[in-house]
Structure 1
Amino acid sequence: MATTVTPHRSPHQKTVRRAVAGSFVGTAIEWYDFFIYGTAAALVLGPQFFPGSSDLAGTLAAFATLAVGFIARPIGGVVMGHFGDRTGRKSMLVISMVLMGTATVGIGLLPTYDSIGAWAPVLLVALRFVQGIGVGGEWGGAVLMATEHAPPGKAGLYGSAPQMGVPAGVILANVVFLVCTQSMNEQQFLAWGWRLPFLFSVALIAVAMWIRLGVMETPAFQAAADDDRIARIPIVEVLATSWRTVLLAGGTFIATNGVAYVFMVYVLNYGTTELGFSRGTMLTLLIASCPVWMLGMALSAHLSDRLGRRRVYVSSAIALLATSAVFFPLIDTAAVPVMLVAMPALAFVLGCTVGPQSAVFAELFPAHLRYSGASLAYQVGAILGGGLAPFLATWLYARYGTTLAISAYFVVVSLISLACAIVLLRPRRTTAALVPAPAQPELQPLVEKVA
């Protein structure tokens, strides 16, 4: 039985451009805030907040606080998903930006262990938790703002805009850290220079807020509200009707997120402590990889609109399995030209795996449950992937003394994600479109696009 949807006029192209730009810029800045913590954890937070232990223990402790943000992300996804499905996408994006900016600046102002003792790591963990709440609600809202404004047949491409905000945030975070490390000596950097990237967030948040406050609500949410299809408790309905979908979708993201965080965070620490490269060299290699990462996102998202989500999503998962397996053997050559090939190659494949993800996750759920469903699925994959990955990589290398153990971890999680993608996107038969196409149609359910 078809669902009735109130037709809405297509938004003005200027409105669509601002919505997509807001998704990209806002996501880039939120992930800048989230990633500078990861970079700082790899480079400086251990001795500042967890002194009196070995370098390894300090690094593990810093990476453990990194995981706290991932633990908070599902909470942010559930809470903001609830209100995003009930009151709209826009308001939640503004709230997530305020939470993230406040926590990030707070970390930049936080006294170290030498100043306030045990309160320093406690407050650091608390602020990291708030960061996780903020970013947990960010992805779902930004993705829906882009995909629900997309013209017919371009949900994949438009949905890649917030995805491209992730490597853009990585570039920005690492450029700022690179400037700081190169413009001052190590003593200055450890004393106060590491705080500057966190405090710089004030200016970035102001720009993103200006863009987001001018964005209109999405046509899909407006249609759901006009037709009185707002769920009373969206997350309960999602779990009651689509819990398998949530778990499978989250499973497709475990490898991408896990490999990406090892790539972005652990490799910085590994390159400086084990391979003997300077911070500047490792940051430069990472920065050089990010434009290629964005290229992979745009290309795979566009191809998913042309060839279908299943073909591109599964093919990319296979490519990640192969590429991640040989990544560390190439890095271990400690030859900069080889690393300059290995890091962009992995970045490109990582981009391919997430390019279609916005459209895939959005198409799994109806509009009135979409924020809650897509956010929860994404955060399940994030906490099982990126939240544990830098800690596990550090522990595996310390335990076995070889990066082959990390490569084995990459292979295992890649196989899990590949299996989930194959099951989630298996071709289905349907007899009728579940949602008719108004002037500005909602995303069609994925069941119609993978056959």
Structure 2
Amino acid sequence: MTSSSTLKTPQSGPLNSQTDEELAPGDIAVGVIIGRASEYFDFFVFGIASVLVFPHVFFPFAEDRLTGTIYAFLVFALAFVVRPVGTLIGMEIQRRFGRSAKLTSALFLLGCSTVGMGLLPTYGEAGQTAIVLLALCRIGQGLALGGSWDGLPSLLALNAPPDRRGWYAMLGQLGAPLGFFVASSVFLYVMGSLDPRDFLTWGWRFPFFTAFAINVVALFARLRLVVTHEYEKRMEEHELDPAHLGELLPAQGHHIVIGAFAALASYALFHLVSVFPLSWIALFSAQSVGDFMKMELLGAAFAAAAMPMSGLIADKIGRRSFLGTLAIAIGVFALFAPLMLGGGKPGQAAFILIGFVLLGLSYGQSAGSVTSNFLPHFRYTGAALTADMAWLLGAAFAPVVALYLSSRFGLVSLSVYLLSGVVCTLVALRVNKRLRTAAVVQD
């Protein structure tokens, strides 16, 4: 995709025309990808540290490392719990001070929260105060991520030709494998450069400091678009402005629920192939954590390659049909997941590579799968809250639930957990189809 593409809006000519060249599709895509990659980087740094660092540094009092990791995963979930609150606060800031003020404050909070984690005292130095500060920084990350919603993915989707909506839908999702790849690479480099004692004493802080530089780049990449007159004009044309919750929920709140459940299989898979397996290997496998992380890097590359494929396929068969097919594929994967993850290096490699490919295909189309159901003036807020609820219901507690159940009842629990997400997705897609059919009949 290049900036010479000719996406059209309903009321104007090509986006790359002389008057609108600042909002060429290629520029929007770069802003979306860079912005999302920085956010995912911050979150994956925390997720990886929850396995490799926090049980030793913040929860050394736990009876064993498993318990310490479960405590860390509970703090990990806090960001997703408060994310909808951050979205609503960000919407209010936007109403009062504008989009650029909202985005700047959100990314500043995200960067400061992440860097602040790298400056925290350990449990040995500050006791329970250290855990409270860690939780506050994690809450800051969640509030910031909710508040950083800029509407760029919605703008891309609305301006996309009908036969290329799947392609444009996956662009923002590319940030996930890119963010995971960079976060894992930084941790691998630091771990490989230091002995274990130095890594747990001070080396683990380096990836958190790296986040500040990445967030500065992401902020300028997104502000370059958001502050332009052309961006504001396009957003106004599509009525992409914050809607009041009191108006949205009674009128179309059910679409938020349907949209969240429609993406549940993909969002549940998200942390079950990235964060959870790392904890299982670290706690219950003889395989080197470093070797396993290298395999996850390859898996992230596979996911990044699968996402463009998801766009091409979805444009051929339809996004909802594609999501339904992928949900069934994830269900099949879930049935064999215990055999693969518990089957030594070959099986674990298969789990990661197959899982990441399925993640790339499904997550590439999971964002906004039913967003078009919202009325235009509800779409901006509705899309943001739908994503927030999908993260909360599907991904927030996935690592801690999967680890706890698997440690007590075996890896078969992983299958049950993932299959529950598949069922929710298939039911939600079915309900959505009936609602759309009923709407067409009424028209």
The offset of 1:219, in angstroms, is 6.8
Q: Does 1:10 align with 2:14?
A: yes
d(CA) in 2 for partners of 1:219 and 1:245? 30
Change (3 A) 1:417 1:40: same
Which position in structure 2 is the counterpart of 1:306? Answer: 316
Work out whether 1:186 is the aligned partner of 2:176.
no
SS at match of 2:151: helix
Q: Secondary structure of the residue that 1:357 maps to in structure 2?
A: coil
CA distance in 2, matches of 1:416, 1:218: 41
Counterpart of 1:56 in structure 2: which amino acid? L
Alignment counterpart, residue 182 of structure 2, candidates 149, 162, 172: 172
- What amino acid maps onto 2:126 in structure 1? I
SS of the equivalent of 1:358 reads coil
Query: How far did 1:151 drift?
Result: 4.7
For residues 136 and 195 of structure 1, the distance between their equivalents in structure 2, rounded to whole angstroms, comes to 25
Residue deviations 1:289-311, cap 9 Å, x none?
A: 01211222222223222322221
Q: Are residues 31 and 139 of structure 1, via their aligned partners in 2, closer, same or farther at CA, if it must alter by over 3 Å?
A: farther
Structure 2 counterpart of 1:222, from 228, 233, 236: 233
Q: Which residue of 1 aligns with 2:208?
A: 198
Q: 1:425 to 1:178 in 2, by over 3 A?
A: farther
> Counterpart in 2 of 1:341?
350
Question: Would you say the 8 A contact 2:111–2:211 is kept in 1?
Answer: yes
**Which residue of 2 is the match for residue 418 of structure 1?**
426
TM-superposed deviation, 1:104: 0.4
Change beyond 3 A, Cα 1:244–1:50: same
Normalised to the residue count of structure 1, the TM-score between the two structures is 0.87
Aligned residue number for residue 377 of structure 1: 386
The one-letter code of the counterpart of 2:422 is S
- Per the alignment, do residues 157 and 45 of structure 1 end up closer, same or farther by CA in structure 2, a change over 3 Å counting? same
Find 2:363's aligned residue among 354, 365, 387.
354
For residues 236-315 of structure 1, what are the structure 2 equivalents within 5 Å? 236-315=246-325
The SS at the match of 2:274 is helix
Q: d(CA) in 1 for partners of 2:357 and 2:94? A: 32
RCO greater where, 1 or 2, for CA within 8 Å and sep 6 or more? 1
Residue in 1 that maps onto 2:142: 132
- What is the CA distance between 1:149 and its match in structure 2? 4.8
Query: Per-residue displacement from partner, 1:216-272 (whole Å, max 9, x unpaired)?
Result: 469796356369x68784322221111211111111222222222122111101112
**TM-score, length basis structure 2:** 0.88
Long gaps (5+) in structure 1 = 435-451
Number of aligned residue pairs: give it.
Answer: 427
SS in 2 for 1:360: coil
C-alpha distance in structure 2 between counterparts of 1:318 and 1:139, whole Å: 30
**Aligned-residue offset at 1:420:** 1.1
**Following TM superposition, by how much is the alpha carbon of 1:388 offset from its aligned partner in structure 2, in angstroms?**
0.9
CA offset at residue 411 of structure 1?
Answer: 1.3
Tell me the residue number matched to 1:28.
37
Aligned partner letter, 2:387 = Y
Give the Cα separation in 1 of the matches to 2:88 and 2:405. 32
User: Could you tell me which of 42, 55, 58 is aligned with 2:51?
Assistant: 42
Residues of 2 paired with 1:347 and 1:354: CA distance? 10
Q: Is the alpha carbon distance of 1:140 and 1:42 closer, same or farther for their aligned partners in structure 2, counting shifts above 3 Å? A: farther
- Does the CA contact (< 8 Å) of 2:95 and 2:242 recur in 1? no
Identity of aligned residues (%): 27
Matched with 1:316 is 326
**Which amino acid is the alignment partner of residue 394 of structure 2?**
G
Q: Which residue of 1 aligns with 2:414?
A: 406
Please say if residues 56 and 200 of structure 2, whose CA atoms lie closer than 8 Å, have aligned partners that are also in contact.
no
Distance change >3 Å, CA 301–CA 84, structure 1 → 2: farther
The structure-2 alpha-carbon separation of the partners of 1:224 and 1:21, relative to structure 1 and needing over 3 Å to count, comes to closer
Query: What amino acid sits opposite 2:353 in the alignment?
Result: P
Larger CA deviation: 54-63 vs 182-191 = 54-63
Question: Given the superposition, is the C-alpha separation of residues 232 and 28 from structure 1 closer, same or farther in structure 2, using an over 3 Å criterion?
Answer: closer
In 2 relative to 1, CA 86–300 (structure 1 residues): closer, same or farther, beyond 3 Å? farther
